[in-house]
Chain A
Amino acid sequence: MIDPKPPAATLGEHLARRGISRRGLLKFSAAMTSLMALPPALIETFAQNLASAKRPSVIWLPFQECTGCTESLTRSTQPSVEQLIFDMVSLDYQETLMAAAGHQAEQSLADAMKRNHGEYLLVIDGSVATGADGGYSCIGGVSNHALLQEAAKGAKAIICVGTCSSFGGIPQAFPNPTDAQPVSDIIKDKPIVNVPGCPPIPAVITGVLAYFVAFGRLPELDPLRRPKAFYGETIHDRCYRRPFYDQGKFAKSFDDEGARSGWCLYEVGCKGPTTYNACATVKWNGGTSFPIQSGHGCFGCSEPDFWDQPGGFYKPLAALDWGGAATVGAAAAGGVALGATAAYFARRRQKYLAPKDDARGPGVSDSSTQAAGSSAGKDGGRRSGGSNDMA
């Protein structure tokens, strides 16, 4: 990455040096604005802003993560990861992609933070271990928690890539042994944008970065701080199998006729109706496919607590956690006890109210409109009598 020339003042200058024409920039801008559902009129503005923008410094810190988010990013096609790294941003620290290691890597991180203080974008993947004073996850002897707080001080904004850094993700799943937390629970004084997904769609990661470079601000966010351009609609709303849902045609298992016919996967646990993401529109691997298209229901991985959702992955959304046979059995046993107790006192009252010389039994009246067994019980008489016919 060593360039003998002095660094370019703007992104446009940098692109020109790399031989990228204005036409190429416009094509890229059209693709990006389309991806983010921006109006076509903004293509020119987007391109102009990109050309005049400074390449922002990006520092990417991995915490409790599996590197799946980075793997996803490296499969970005528009822009490609090479475009992203060499043309749009100055990726100053990314452990998986950088050549440096050990003390050199840590030094480059310190240098990047000092050189671009207040201006760099901080990208986080992975949740932050806070248990045992952050001792569950350290880099170079520094806990993730301490490193995040230090790096966040000089960040212009923080982009949380993946569900782990956005919502806690799998490390935060029950029983959460490391007391894992999302970044937004720790950093309160910086703009944060969440790009959840396990992993996120590569185009969504790069799209958010491109938006920031072009407009110098974060895109419009939803209440969970996700960019509305990518997380504005549910997968169910945009799913190509949605017509089968509306028609009532469902796969009953993963290998039945319905599954082979490409019918809706709701019944086998698809979480598409409650999952906001762009999988059904942007798709993966350059727009090739997405999980539902491959025959598997959506996990809901871009939603908080997706790992611990009631019922698990393969129970339909409608199968609620009603407690199982044990709960129903306990409730029925309690009902029997209460009912028997209530009946015992009601029968005592019936006996008490019965005329002493009435050999016929405990009836208190001869009203023909009262149901059998309900004449003496105040409540039973009201409930079992004709009044309910009026309901």
Chain B
Amino acid sequence: MTWLESWADMTLLDFSRGPAMKVAMFVFVLGCVWRLLGIALLRGRRDLSTPRHANKWKGLRLMGLRSWPRKEFLGGTAFGEALGYTFHAGFFIALLFFLPHVLFFTDIFRGLGIPSLSSVTGFSWPTLSSGTIYFFSAISAAALLAVLVHRIINPVKRMLSNFDDYFSWFVTFAPIVTGMAAVSHVLLPYQTLLALHYLSVALLLIWFPFGKLMHMYYIFTTRGVEGVQFERRGATL
């Protein structure tokens, strides 16, 4: 039996749990290492000017400062930032405190030889009830929808948006709604919904290194680097 025949014989759930996830994980790790190393190994630019401020590392404050809207732009950016925080909070609560997700990560850590939290500290990672997770997932999905609508109706944002923005939105939104559908068993058999959830996660992992979702790595490092440069040159942060 060839691998193609064995794939063809699989149920959708087995395919999503097996080959699809394996390929997705491979692409995710390969892509992330590739992209990050490609940037890390670029030539640095030497700056021979005299630093304006003695301690340039104070510029790292920019990582935090940029995470909150500036007073001057509050009216224009507060709504978008509030949606962003709402989405991210809901998303990470659902991702990190739902038992099946915790078991997914635990299995990976175990497979990579990384000791579990409980084996080191004696405490196990806490999980939340299904209802709580569903609530935060719903908030997260609603925030994502609002972000999309805002992006579409705002002429400036619409003009700045490209395929990357919309597809990154889609691959983030899909796991949330398929996960919620799987938990609530709506429309399709549970196995199909679960398979769709796994496949949507696989799609997210595959797209992650090549789209704007890489901001997960870049966002704070970029702000830190900029802050250090600004501080050196005497800019007001």
Which residues does A use to contact B, with CB under 8 Å?
Answer: 175-176, 234, 236-237, 245-248, 250, 252, 266-267, 273-274, 276, 303-305, 308-311, 315-325, 327-328, 330-332, 334-336, 338-340, 342-344, 346-347, 350-351, 360-363, 368-369, 371-377, 379-380, 383-386, 388-391
**B33 in contact (CB, < 8 A):** yes
Give Cα distance in the complex from A309 to B29, angstroms: 25
Interface pairs (30), CB distance under 8 Å = A234-B190, A248-B128, A274-B191, A318-B103, A319-B106, A321-B22, A322-B22, A322-B25, A322-B107, A323-B26, A324-B111, A327-B22, A327-B25, A331-B26, A331-B29, A335-B29, A336-B33, A342-B38, A343-B40, A343-B41, A350-B43, A360-B45, A360-B47, A362-B43, A371-B229, A377-B42, A379-B38, A380-B39, A383-B39, A390-B160
B194 within 8 A of A: yes
Question: Is there an interface contact between A323 and B22, defined as CB atoms closer than 8 Å?
Answer: yes
Interface residues in B34-77 (C-beta closer than 8 Å to A): 34-48, 66
Interface size on B, residues (CB 8 A): 74
Do A389 and B99 contact each other (CB < 8 Å), given the known contacts A245-B130, A319-B104, A339-B38? no
Judge if B1 is at the interface, Cβ distance under 8 Å. yes
Contact check, B36 vs A391: say whether CB atoms are below 8 A apart.
Answer: no
Residues of A within 8 A of B22 (CB): 321-323, 327
Cα distance, A372 to B191, chains bound together (Å): 48
Query: Shortest distance in angstroms between B168's beta carbon and chain A's nearest beta carbon?
Result: 8
- If over half of B's interface residues share one DSSP class (helix, strand or loop), that class is named, otherwise mixed; here it is helix
Residues of B within 8 A of A305 (CB): 9-11, 14
B149 within 8 A of A: no
| B contact residues around A350 at 8 Å (CB) | 42-43
Contact B38 A315 (CB under 8 A): no
Question: B21 contacts A321, CB within 8 Å?
Answer: yes
A351 to B42, CA, bound (A): 11
Residues of A within 8 A of B30 (CB): 331-332, 334-335, 338
CA distance A115 to B62 in the complex (A): 90
**In the docked arrangement, what's the CA distance between A321 and B14, Å?**
9
B37 lies within 8 A of A343 (CB): yes
Contact A384/B43 with A322-B21, A339-B38, A360-B48 known, Cβ cut-off 8 Å: no
Partner of B112, one of A237, A319, A325: A325
In Å, the complex CA distance between A185 and B158 comes to: 53
CB < 8 Å: which of B10, B103, B191, B233 contacts A316?
B103
Evaluate whether A391 and B219 lie within 8 angstroms (CB atoms) in the complex, with A267-B103, A316-B103 already known.
yes
**How many Å lie between the Cα of A384 and that of B28 in the bound state?**
19
Bound: A375/B48 CA distance, A: 16
B150 at the interface (CB under 8 A from A): no
Residues of A within 8 A of B44 (CB): 361, 372-373
Mask, B74-115, CB within 8 Å of A = 1, is 000000000000000000000000011101101110011100
Q: Which residues of A contact B107 (CB under 8 A)?
A: 315-316, 318-320, 322
Rounded to whole Å, the gap between the CB of B174 and the closest CB of chain A is 17
Contacts of A362 on B, CB cut-off 8 Å? 43, 45
How far is A276 from B190 in the complex, measured between Cα atoms in Å? Answer: 10
A117 to B34, CA, bound (A): 68
CB distance from B22 to the nearest CB of A (A): 4
Task: Specify the chain A residue showing the minimal Cβ separation from B164.
Answer: A391
